[in-house]
């Protein structure tokens, strides 16, 4: 088969792969078959891969920035609201639950997004604990310390179970700081 015909066939297979007309394994097999086992770097394939990576990176950055802004707004709204506190607490709790479930979903596909979602959910739950303590148990520091210690224990257990260093460290440091504060004051 002459070289131009091979290139046309290989570009067609690449088109199928890019547009998901055939499974990736089939396209890889056909590309290996028609390239006779040689590693072919087609110009279209190289530019396509670069474009896909750039688009994914841009989408990840936009997603991370928007999640950060949403978390900041939720925490500010949580502590600035004085009426309908239970409604805000319920809403923030649901958002924290959605973030946790999304983190497990994204953990397999996206390496950077899952930790951000996990940290965001942990911070929302932490803020919820503090808000509930301040709102419903205003003069009871035992409840506040109990909730803070339970948050740190949850972070520590999560970090150890899932082998997440940032949760293990934050849970450990939080417990040390809380216990040290209790002994000093």
> Residue 78 corresponds to which tokens in the numbers above?
């949580």
Residue 182: which H helix or E strand, with range? helix 165-184
Q: What is the pLDDT of residues 144-163, one digit of tens each?
A: 999 999 999 999 999 999 89
pTM attached to this predicted model: 0.64
**Alpha-carbon dihedral sign for residues 28, 29, 35, 36:** positive
Q: Residue 163 carries which DSSP code?
A: T
Percent above pLDDT 90 for the chain: 26
| Cβ partners under 8 Å of residue 113, min gap 6 | 60, 63, 64, 103, 106
Work out the angle between the directed axes of helices 3-18 and 24-34 (0-180°, nearest 10).
Answer: 170
Q: What is the pLDDT of residues 23-82, one digit of tens each?
A: 888 888 888 888 776 665 554 555 555 555 666 677 777 877 888 888 888 888 888 887
């Amino acid at each position: 088969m002459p070289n131009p015909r091979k290139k046309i066939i290989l570009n067609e297979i690449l088109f199928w792969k890019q547009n998901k007309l055939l499974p990736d394994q089939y396209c890889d097999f056909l590309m290996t078959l028609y390239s006779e086992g040689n590693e072919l770097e087609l110009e279209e394939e190289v530019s396509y891969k670069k474009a896909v990576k750039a688009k994914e990176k841009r989408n990840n950055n936009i997603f991370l920035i928007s999640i950060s802004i949403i978390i900041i707004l939720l925490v500010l709204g949580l502590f600035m609201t004085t009426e309908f506190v239970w409604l805000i607490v319920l809403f923030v709790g649901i958002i924290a639950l959605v973030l946790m479930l999304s983190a497990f979903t994204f953990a397999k596909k996206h390496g950077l997004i899952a930790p951000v979602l996990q940290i965001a959910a942990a911070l929302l739950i932490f803020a919820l604990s503090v808000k509930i303590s301040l709102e419903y148990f205003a003069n009871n520091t035992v409840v506040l310390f109990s909730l803070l210690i339970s948050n740190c224990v949850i972070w520590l257990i999560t970090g150890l179970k899932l082998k997440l260093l940032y949760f293990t460290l934050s849970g450990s440091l939080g417990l040390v700081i809380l216990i040290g504060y209790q002994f000093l004051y």
